[in-house]
Amino acid sequence: MKALILVGGFGTRLRPLTLSFPKPLVDFANKPMILHQIEALKEVGVTEVVLAINYRPEVMLNFLKDFEDKLGITITCSQETEPLGTAGPLALARDKLVDGSGEPFFVLNSDVISEYPFAELIKFHKNHGGEATIMVTKVDEPSKYGVVVMEEVTGLVEKFIEKPKIFVGNKINAGIYLLNPSVLDRIELKPTSIEKEVFPRIAADEKLYAMVLPGFWMDVGQPRDYITGLRLYLDSIRKRSADRLAAGAHIVGNVLVHESAKIGEGCLIGPDVAIGPGCIVEDGVRLSRCTVMRSVRIKKHACISNSIIGWHSTVGQWARIENMTILGEDVHVGDEVYTNGGVVLPHKEIKSSILKPEIVM
């Protein structure tokens, strides 16, 4: 089987992290976002992953070469010269996706984190005999999204309603699809939306089905959702393989610590924290609801909550970082500095406090 991952463009919503790496290579729970998807695809027998990309493909491919060998999977790029929306990239990659076998192929949005129940999706798709399956997830506030109206028993999709004013349902498109090759005949090589143009036409022909995604789902393409997604992901690990989580007197709730990270005495870590490879957390540090990426040093008695600390950064002694502060790569926060929602671009030194949310150039 094959899969196409819609990588897209610049990842502006996740800056300043995406100034250093393309968004799919930004770490989530101690590994690049896209690797969570590629590993799950490999588990259900996908042998080739095509990345639909219009920004820095050479960086992606160089990085993923190592994983090709480790996972035994082929990873190639299909590069857009102009943005083609969410359907155009399928037409562009047609030759890579169609191999004459008639097998369906996966399409994923690269920002989506879930338990990726691909085996169940394949089974559901083959059973209903339609042309395409989309995964849907239930949300509390459907008025912010496009709602999928479907038959509850069969999953047959009736229609899509964009940001409904009255309640018509609570299921939204989760950005995970399984499509027959014939779907490609419906897509022209031009900027096209799969959600607004292609799927409604398949639904009108009564060949589009939806499967409700079990477990959690989050689009982690912006910081607040990234932090929420980490909480949901760690909850999911707790249920499925709790031995991967850290334990001890200094741990509260769900915490993921890379085996090469070092943690000092008298710390209190958690809940909902990921500490990456090569990190050094000195004595008396307090961490909650945050991600600390590769090779970060957090000095004594610093306190970090609801924030993302980028690669190779340093947080000074007694510093306090909170309220969705994001430090880009190689940022150095001085001793006793307070940052309240600061968004700091890479390679900066912060010597004075940031008292209200602002971007530090």
| CA atoms of 121 and 174, how far apart (whole Å) | 13
Where residue 310 falls among pLDDT bands split at 50, 70, 90? very high
Question: What pLDDT score does 284 carry?
Answer: 96
Residue type, 358: E
Average pLDDT over residues 58-77: 81
- Predicted structure pTM score: 0.87
Which superfamily, per CATH, for 2-219?
Answer: Spore Coat Polysaccharide Biosynthesis Protein SpsA; Chain A (3.90.550.10)
With CA atoms as reference, report the closest residue to 183 among 198, 196, 173. 198
Residue type, 28: F
Would the pLDDT of 67 be above 70? yes
| CA atoms of 167 and 146, how far apart (whole Å) | 12
Q: Are 269 and 287 in contact (CB under 8 A)?
A: yes
Question: What pLDDT score does 11 carry?
Answer: 63
Question: What pLDDT score does 275 carry?
Answer: 97
Question: What pLDDT score does 9 carry?
Answer: 62
Question: What pLDDT score does 102 carry?
Answer: 82
**Omega before residue 223 within 30° of 0, cis:** no
| CA atoms of 216 and 229, how far apart (whole Å) | 9
H/E stretch holding 108 reads strand 105-109
Where residue 163 falls among pLDDT bands split at 50, 70, 90? confident
Would the pLDDT of 222 be above 80? yes
**Structural fold of domain 248-359:** UDP N-Acetylglucosamine Acyltransferase; domain 1 (2.160.10)
- State percent of the chain over pLDDT 70: 98
Would the pLDDT of 257 be above 90? yes
The pair of structure tokens assigned to 19 is 């100034």
Q: What is the pLDDT of residues 270-282, one digit of tens each?
A: 899 999 999 999 9
Domain boundaries, the chain: 2-219, 248-359
| CA atoms of 89 and 104, how far apart (whole Å) | 17
Would the pLDDT of 81 be above 90? no
Q: What is the pLDDT of residues 6-37, one digit of tens each?
A: 886 666 777 888 888 877 888 999 998 888 99
- State percent of the chain over pLDDT 90: 48
Quickly list DSSP for 198-224: IHHHHHHTT-EEEEEPPS-EEE-SSHH
Where residue 54 falls among pLDDT bands split at 50, 70, 90? confident
What is the 3-class SS of 58-79, one letter each residue? HHHHHHHHHHHHHHCCEEEEEE
Average pLDDT over residues 202-212: 91
Range from 161-170, 194-203, 284-293 that averages highest in pLDDT: 284-293
Average pLDDT, the chain: 89
Question: What pLDDT score does 88 carry?
Answer: 85
Supply the DSSP symbol for 192: B
Count of alpha carbons within 13 Å of 194, Cβ hemisphere only? 26
Would the pLDDT of 100 be above 80? no
Q: Are 44 and 137 in contact (CB under 8 A)?
A: no
The pair of structure tokens assigned to 21 is 């790496």
With CA atoms as reference, report the closest residue to 167 among 200, 196, 145, 152. 145
Q: Which residue has the tokens 């089974």?
A: 123
Average pLDDT over residues 304-328: 96
| CA atoms of 330 and 310, how far apart (whole Å) | 7
Gyration radius of the chain over CA positions: 21
Same fold, 2-219 and 248-359: no
| CA atoms of 48 and 68, how far apart (whole Å) | 10
